[in-house]
Amino acid sequence: MNDIASAAVNVAFHGLTLAMVLYLISVGLSVTMGLMGFVNLAHGAFAMAGGYVMTTLMNRWGLDFPLALFLAVAVVTAGSLVLERLLYRRLYGGDELDQVLLTMGLIFMSVGAATYIWGPLAQPMQPPELLRGQFNLLGHTLPAYRSFLIVCGAIIVTVLWLALERTRFGAQLRAAVDNLRMAETIGINTSRLFATAFAFGSGLAALGGGLGADLLAITPGYALDNLVYFLIVVAVGGLGSIRGPFLAALVVGIADTALKYYVPQFGAFFIYALTMAILLRYPHGIFGRT
């Protein structure tokens, strides 16, 4: 009985960690897709870039974890802004196929560039001294770094929701997702809003990629290998929603961990089947509008 309970706690714990990382990475994608209707398959590349910049700064330059993480987010945010103005903006409101192809091309470029610069092996990630090892909570031994991930994720989620509900930018964002034309009509600068939201989402992805570097290994194939997971979170959660993806990330994170723990012989099969079933029942996602 005790074993079953402790296994359940373990599954819930690791599932929650995965959910936090998935949410941080995917929430920006949800906003991009909901706001601009843009199928950005290359979103994972921003998370990968965040992971690479952070691990490089830490491993080769000897920077502290917080500083390295901050710089990684800053670099990726700036880089994504350039890409948005140069490439993405040209295809807003365009053909779905063109968007798929453009971002597929970007994924391939990211694979090639990452292999060229960092080689094919995964980047090692050493958590700071303070967060290594494990600690005890109510009789369960929990790894410190992953607990830190959960706390971090919870704080960021709260801040995001508050920002969306309480700030002017959040109100503009909600207005534009609800009705783009009307938002433009009442004088919201949607072009600037798009760019800001895009850069912000990419920055969050970089944060998720950096924080989750020991969970989703930083390898050149990152954007391609994890693409299905990011897309599942967004599609199940509902486009343009901030809360939906969180719920979806929880479902995916915990279900995936549980299924891989209890029925490892099926791997990720059931998570795909679950996604398919949810999407058939709710084609616009759980929190999506019809």
Partner 1 sequence: MMISPDHPSADPKPMLDSFARRHRLDPREALPWLVAIAAYFAFPDYLALQAQILATIVFALSVDLLLGYAGIVTLGHAAFFGVGAYTAGLLAANGWGEPLSGLLAGALAAGVVGFVAGAIILRTSGLTLLMQTLVVAAMLYELANKAGRITGGADGLQGMQVWPVFGTFRFDMFGKTAFLYCLAVLLICWLVVRTVVHSAFGRSLTGIRENVLRMHAIGAPVDRRKVLVYTLSAALAGVAGALIAQTTQFVGLGTLSLERSGTILIMLIIGGVGQLYGSFIGVPLYMIAQDRFASVDPVYWYFWIGLFMVVLVLFARGGVLGVVRRLRQPDGPQK
CB of 266 to partner 1, least distance (A): 6
Give the binding range for partner 1 (CB under 8 A) out of 170-178, 198-206, 228-236, 250-258. 228-236
Q: How many residues bind partner 1 (CB under 8 A)?
A: 43
Interaction between residue 122 and partner 1 (CB under 8 A): no
What distance in Å separates the CA atoms of residue 84 and residue 36, rounded to the nearest whole number? 12
For residue 122, which phi and psi values (nearest 5 degrees)? -70, 145
CA distances to 33, 150, 155, 191, 246 from 24, in Å: 15, 11, 11, 24, 9
Tokens representing residue 45 in the block: 């590349």
Residue number, 77 or 110, with CB nearest to partner 1: 110
Q: What is the DSSP string of 45-58?
A: HHHHHHHHHHHHHH
Give the binding range for partner 1 (CB under 8 A) out of 101-109, 140-148, 160-168, 184-192. 101-109
Among residues 5, 8, 109, 162, which is the contact residue for partner 1, using CB under 8 A? 109
Interaction between residue 276 and partner 1 (CB under 8 A): yes
Q: What is the DSSP string of 171-204?
A: HHHHHHHH-HHHHHHTT--HHHHHHHHHHHHHHH
Interaction between residue 273 and partner 1 (CB under 8 A): yes
Interaction between residue 133 and partner 1 (CB under 8 A): no
Q: What is the DSSP string of 216-228?
A: TT--TTHHHHSHH
CB of 186 to partner 1, least distance (A): 27
Interaction between residue 260 and partner 1 (CB under 8 A): no
Residue number, 32 or 172, with CB nearest to partner 1: 32
Q: How many CA atoms lie within 13 A of 108 on its CB side?
A: 6
What distance in Å separates the CA atoms of residue 10 and residue 112, rounded to the nearest whole number? 37
The torsion angle over the Cα atoms of residues 208, 196, 282 and 157, rounded to 10 degrees, is 40
Interaction between residue 272 and partner 1 (CB under 8 A): yes
Give the binding range for partner 1 (CB under 8 A) out of 74-82, 85-93, 130-138, 176-184. 85-93
In 3D space, the residue among 244, 251, 207 whose CA is nearest the CA of residue 15 turns out to be 251
Burial class (CB in 10 A: 0-12, 13-18, 19+), 47: buried
Residue number, 181 or 281, with CB nearest to partner 1: 281
CB of 88 to partner 1, least distance (A): 11
Long-range pairs, 163-171, Cβ under 8 A, ≥24? 164/242, 169/193, 169/196
30-49: contacts with partner 1 (CB under 8 A): 33, 39
Interaction between residue 72 and partner 1 (CB under 8 A): no
CA distances to 16, 34, 107, 236, 239 from 282, in Å: 24, 16, 29, 8, 12
Residue number, 117 or 186, with CB nearest to partner 1: 117
Interaction between residue 206 and partner 1 (CB under 8 A): no
Interaction between residue 269 and partner 1 (CB under 8 A): yes
Interaction between residue 284 and partner 1 (CB under 8 A): yes
**Which residues contact partner 1 (rule: CB under 8 A)?**
33, 39, 87, 90-91, 96-98, 100-102, 104-113, 115-116, 224, 227-228, 231-232, 235, 239, 265-269, 272-273, 275-276, 279-280, 283-284
